[in-house]
Amino acid sequence: MKKAFITGVTGQDGAYLSKFLLGKGYHVIGMIRRSASSDMIGERLRWLGILGQIELVDGDLIDLSSLIRLMGTHKPDEVYNLAAQSFVATSWQQPLLTGEVTGLGAVNMLEALRLMHPSARFYQASSSEMFGNIRAPVQNETTPFYPRSPYAAAKLYAHWMTVNYRESFGLHASSGILFNHESPLRGVEFVTRHITDGVAQIKLGLASELKLGNVHATRDWGHARDYVQAMWLMLQQDVPDDYVIATGRTVSVQDFAGMAFAHAGLNAADFIRLDPARLRPAEVDALHGDAAKAAEKLGWRAHVALEAMAAEMVDADIARYQRKAG
Ligand code: NDP
Ligand code: GDR
């Protein structure tokens, strides 16, 4: 039985990746950090019905000794480094923490592997945010990077260190440059889930408006369920490499909101209020990915259409509020 080790297992991607790997017959080991709210840990894994099927182990990305111990003890075949301070807006409030976890944390993981278990295959969760102030209208693996937030700068450091450990030490280390991907398990602070949660509240009479920041920003949004498959495919290749993962379709925040409201039978313009407090110090105005390399080399492509994903998220949020109301 193959062993996979996942950091960030309690997050959106960690949950979907765990489910996918369990379906492939893997033994999944998920690293969790100590929390005073231990009963809340694993909510997403519980939602997918897999909490009891994963071996949860304690560790923290900024605690190198815990990573060394875990690699030495478990010697996994595959390591997926998904843990991060992943909310871009927060990275301006906590730039040092973001640098430590999102940037140096990845290097801690690489170091633990190099020292204890260099034969493992390693996946680094890189991000389209690294393209930032875009240098080309459509971005692929050859597009230059221009990070626009402390988060993106930290991810870029982790990305290049992954490349460097591959080239310096021969680690089987790959980076997935993933464009935004969402689901009903997306954190509610991210814009798609903020919108679908707001639509659900408005539909059920629990709220009367939805506050948004820059509604003109455009993103290439896909479904997390599709994207975790690409992570696994990268680690099945003989040669490690970097891949852009995207749908190739880009729409604005406003248009995504239009889809979500329409699914609930509502008109977005009647409810959206612009909130300057939600604007960012520096914005990534537009992202549009080209995943041709992943299609050709991995045989990967996105399956879930944006409208279907918006509908799934709205329905899940309505169901959540209905359950809460008993
Ligand atoms: P989430 O924010 O949902 O999950 C982040 C995970 O990291 C959580 O499990 C969190 O644990 C964990 N974590 C945070 N800090 C630490 C730490 N110090 N030590 C150990 N674990 C920690 O992110 P997603 O699932 O959406 O994304 C997965 C990865 O992919 C992230 O690295 C993200 O930056 C990156 N990415 C995401 C994209 C997306 O669109 N979703 C696109 C491109 C890249 P806890 O539950 O305890 O907070
Ligand atoms: P992003 O995702 O920053 O792209 O990072 P987010 O959903 O937070 O923002 C997308 C765009 O929407 C605009 N926006 C708002 N954003 C939020 N969160 N809330 C609002 O009210 C709002 N109004 C408008 C933002 O300004 C932005 O332009 C996500 C994260 O998952 C990263 O970890 C990951 O690396 C990238 O996607 C790819």
Q: Is 219 in the pocket of ligand 2 (CB under 6 A)?
A: yes
Domain contains 21: yes
Q: Is 101 in the pocket of ligand 1 (CB under 6 A)?
A: yes
Whether residues 146 and 194 fall in one domain: no
pLDDT of residue 160: 98
Whether residues 158 and 122 fall in one domain: yes
Q: Is 183 in the pocket of ligand 1 (CB under 6 A)?
A: no
Domain contains 299: no
Residues that are catalytic: 127, 129, 151
User: In 3D, which of 32, 45, 7, 309 has the Cα closest to residue 180?
Assistant: 309
Domain contains 82: yes
Whether residues 42 and 110 fall in one domain: yes
Domain contains 295: no
Domain contains 297: no
Is the separation of the CB atoms in 220 and 291 below 8 Å?
A: no
pLDDT digits (tens, 9 = 90+) for 194-236: 999 999 999 999 999 999 999 999 999 999 999 999 999 999 9
Whether residues 28 and 177 fall in one domain: yes
Residue to substitute in 88, 148, 156, 211 for testing ligand 2 pocket (most ligand atoms within 8 angstroms of CB): 88
Whether residues 8 and 102 fall in one domain: yes
How many angstroms is it from 162 CA to the middle of ligand 1? 17
Whether residues 147 and 88 fall in one domain: yes
Report residue 281 as tokens: 């110090």
Query: Where does the chain have alpha helices with state H?
Result: 12-23, 43-47, 64-74, 88-93, 95-98, 105-116, 150-169, 191-203, 224-235, 253-263, 292-298, 306-324
Whether residues 7 and 57 fall in one domain: yes
Parent domain of 277: 187-219+250-287+305-325
Q: Is 187 in the pocket of ligand 1 (CB under 6 A)?
A: yes
Domain contains 298: no
Is the separation of the CB atoms in 60 and 66 below 8 Å?
A: yes
Whether residues 34 and 164 fall in one domain: yes
pLDDT of residue 39: 78
Whether residues 88 and 53 fall in one domain: yes
pLDDT of residue 187: 98
- Predicted TM-score (pTM) of this structure: 0.98
The number of angstroms, rounded, from the C-alpha of 223 to the middle of its chain's C-alpha atoms is 10
CATH number for the domain spanning 315: value is 3.90.25.10
Count of the separate structural domains present in the chain = 2
CATH number for the domain spanning 19: value is 3.40.50.720
Whether residues 226 and 214 fall in one domain: no
pLDDT of residue 78: 99
Domain contains 296: no
Whether residues 215 and 228 fall in one domain: no
Whether residues 171 and 203 fall in one domain: no
pLDDT of residue 326: 82
pLDDT of residue 237: 98
Domain contains 292: no
The per-residue pLDDT string of the chain (326 residues; one tens digit each, 9 = 90 and over) reads: 999 999 999 999 999 999 999 999 999 999 999 888 877 889 999 999 999 999 999 999 999 999 999 999 999 999 999 999 999 999 999 999 999 999 999 999 999 999 999 999 999 999 999 999 999 999 999 999 999 999 999 999 999 999 999 999 999 999 999 999 999 999 999 999 999 999 999 999 999 999 999 999 999 999 999 999 999 999 999 999 999 999 999 999 999 999 999 999 999 999 999 999 999 999 999 999 999 999 999 999 999 999 999 999 999 999 999 999 98
